[in-house]
Amino acid sequence: MHKTVFLLLSLVASVVGVEAQNISGKVVDERGAAVSYVTVALLEASDSSFVTGVIAGDDGSFTMAGQADNRLVKVSGVGYRTVILSAATYMSILLHPSEQSMKEVTVTASRPVFKMKEGQFVSHIQGTVFSQLGKAVNVLQQLPMMSSDGTTVLGKGTPLVYINNRRMRDWNELDRIASDMIKDIRIDMNPGAKYSSDVRAVIFITTVKPVGEGLGGEIGLQESASDYWNNRGWLNLNYRRKGLDVFLSGSLNAFSNSRYRREDAYAFEYNGKDVDASYDGDGYESSKSGYVSVGFNELITPKQSVGATYAFTRVFSSNASQEYQNRLSMGADVSDFATGIHAFSHSSNHNIGVYYENVFSDHLSLNVDGSYAHYANYNRQSIVDTREEDNSTLTPVSRSSADMGAVKTVVASSLAGGKLEYGFETTFTRYRQKYDVEAGGNDVLRNSDNLSRQSALDVFVNYSRNFGKVYTQASSMSMPTMITMWAASIWMKAAGTIIMCCRHCQSRMI
């Protein structure tokens, strides 16, 4: 009996040990010195897909949960060659200096300083080689745990970005921040309850105070040709006086006759018959779009600031044409026909953002952030099938629009040696989509008109404190204290029968 129990316990322990296996190790340079704060990523060997990742500590050591079998470990860091090795339970990884400078930047500054502070990964940028990279997005591309395009955090997805504690609403804002204007960047990999549950990472960019006053800017024009023409022009203006910073930026983009070819073939069985389908043809695309943004930031006092931004994005026209030859055979039946598709669309997007921040003292601060966005889109397609026996035309048209508003207030204060943050966020959304079939459909496709609205109010509390070298954080977010939802749908058959469905619900939760 005792022997049986012992064997069962041993089996359970071995299973738990396998499930809880970790991969650990240390990263060193050619001199044997520890290389700190490099990115260590675990990848699937089959397709190099990302599994998990960590940042090596001050002493170059790392530990991450996961199985080593059939996996790879990728290690990358600033100034070192990237290495990819077969994963093992324990690894000693040697990094060699990179022979190339980053994007041919002349290295006359020091390497950036990385450290962990209050649960956040902090990168000091000012005066380092990163300050010579050009734009803010170029700096993000070089940071540990960031993707190669600088827009996602590895394993965490797309982050929220705050610039001087003001939420960034458009990634184009990064083009207005020169790398030598960045003081530091903080990446929070475990944001608290003051952010929604789908936010898995937050980036904070702090800039240095602009030097000099007056009007400055740049204007550019770029034209290129390969298989198609591509034209781009941009303008950036900035006016500074004392604590006031006013900016204007815009761009125009156009390309035409972008050509591509598509060929596909399928084989499958349907109702006991072999089906072979194939099509091939050419496609052409062209587009014209523009963007403009204007706003200001004002430093009222060294601890009090306010600002606003308006951005407008417009796709004036987007055209796509495709001509395909189709062949379909099912058993003895063979059908050949041609398909022509033309799609036209245009869209517009308005964004307004305002913020206010006041640091009353070292123990109390207030941050208010508000935004409003309006989006509208029009899309029309014309699909023509040409066969020996007859021709058919289908012309679907869709129109959609959306509005979103949000206000977030955060109060931060000192409490019991730690930091207490609390506040609320209220949101409102409205979305409408209309779908019409101008030609064809044959009672299969229905016209529709859908409208939905939703509003919510969330309250959150977040407390953090350091206990020596240990950083702790406790968060709580209430369920929405009030949700109001309304939706309506109208759909019509081509024959003219109209059916309408509406619903309205309101719930209150404590």
pLDDT score of 446 more than 80: no
Specify whether the CB–CB gap between 129 and 103 falls below 8 A: no
Distance of CA 410 to CAs 166, 199, 316, 377, 461, Å? 12, 17, 39, 34, 9
Secondary structure (DSSP) of 165-207: TEE---GGGGGGSBGGGEEEEEEESS--TTS-TT---EEEEEE
The pLDDT of residue 205 is 92
pLDDT tens-digit series, residues 249-281:
898 988 777 777 888 888 888 888 888 888 888
Which residues lie closer than 8 Å to 248 by C-beta, 6 or more apart? Answer: 235, 236, 237, 238, 292, 293, 294
Q: CB atoms < 10 A from the CB of 401, how many?
A: 17
The pLDDT of residue 506 is 37
Measured over the CA atoms of residue 123, residue 125, residue 129 and residue 133, the dihedral's sign is positive
The pLDDT of residue 211 is 62
pLDDT tens-digit series, residues 400-410:
999 999 999 99
pLDDT score of 103 more than 70: no
Measured over the CA atoms of residue 327, residue 328, residue 333 and residue 338, the dihedral's sign is negative
Which residues lie closer than 8 Å to 278 by C-beta, 6 or more apart? Answer: 263, 264, 265, 266, 326, 327
Specify whether the CB–CB gap between 416 and 465 falls below 8 A: yes
Q: In 3-state terms, what secondary structure has residue 139?
A: helix
Element holding 160 (H helix, E strand): strand 160-163
Considering only 42-51, 347-356, 377-386, 398-407, which range has the smallest mean pLDDT?
42-51
Q: Answer left, alpha or beta for residue 103, where phi above 0 means left and psi between -120 and 50 means alpha.
A: left
> Considering just the CA atoms, what is the radius of gyration of the chain in Å?
29
Element holding 334 (H helix, E strand): strand 333-361
> Which of 41, 13, 47 has the alpha carbon at shortest distance from 25?
41
Give buried/exposed letters for 28-54 (b at 16+ CB in 10 A, else e).
Answer: bbeeeeebbbbbbbbbeeeeeeebebb
Considering only 31-35, 147-151, 456-460, 501-505, which range has the smallest mean pLDDT?
501-505
Q: In 3-state terms, what secondary structure has residue 14?
A: helix
Band of residue 16 on the pLDDT scale cut at 50, 70, 90? very low
**Averaged pLDDT for residues 108-119:** 67
pLDDT score of 354 more than 70: yes
Band of residue 486 on the pLDDT scale cut at 50, 70, 90? low
Cα 448 from chain centroid (whole Å): 31
Which own/partner pairs from 257-262 qualify as long-range (CB within 8 Å, at least 24 positions apart)? 257/227, 257/228, 257/229, 257/284, 257/286, 258/227, 258/228, 258/284, 258/285, 258/286, 259/227, 259/228, 259/283, 259/284, 260/285, 262/322, 262/324
pLDDT score of 5 more than 70: no
> Strands of 120-124's sheet, edge to edge?
113-117, 120-124, 182-188, 202-207, 160-163, 166-167
Cα 163 from chain centroid (whole Å): 16
Distance of CA 331 to CAs 101, 200, 388, 396, Å? 62, 53, 20, 32
The pLDDT of residue 362 is 86
**Averaged pLDDT for residues 411-435:** 91
In the block, which residue shows the tokens 């745990």? 145
Q: In 3-state terms, what secondary structure has residue 9?
A: helix
Identity of the residue numbered 172: N
pLDDT score of 58 more than 60: yes
How does the average pLDDT of the chain come out, rounded? 80
Q: CB atoms < 10 A from the CB of 415, how many?
A: 12
Measured over the CA atoms of residue 354, residue 360, residue 366 and residue 367, the dihedral's sign is positive
pLDDT tens-digit series, residues 175-200:
778 888 899 999 988 887 777 777 88
The pLDDT of residue 429 is 94
The pLDDT of residue 11 is 39
The pLDDT of residue 344 is 93
| Cα–Cα distance measured from residue 430 to residue 455, given in angstroms and rounded to the nearest whole number | 9
| Cα–Cα distance measured from residue 114 to residue 125, given in angstroms and rounded to the nearest whole number | 9
**104 or 24, greater pLDDT:** 24
**Averaged pLDDT for residues 353-358:** 92
| Cα–Cα distance measured from residue 467 to residue 453, given in angstroms and rounded to the nearest whole number | 45
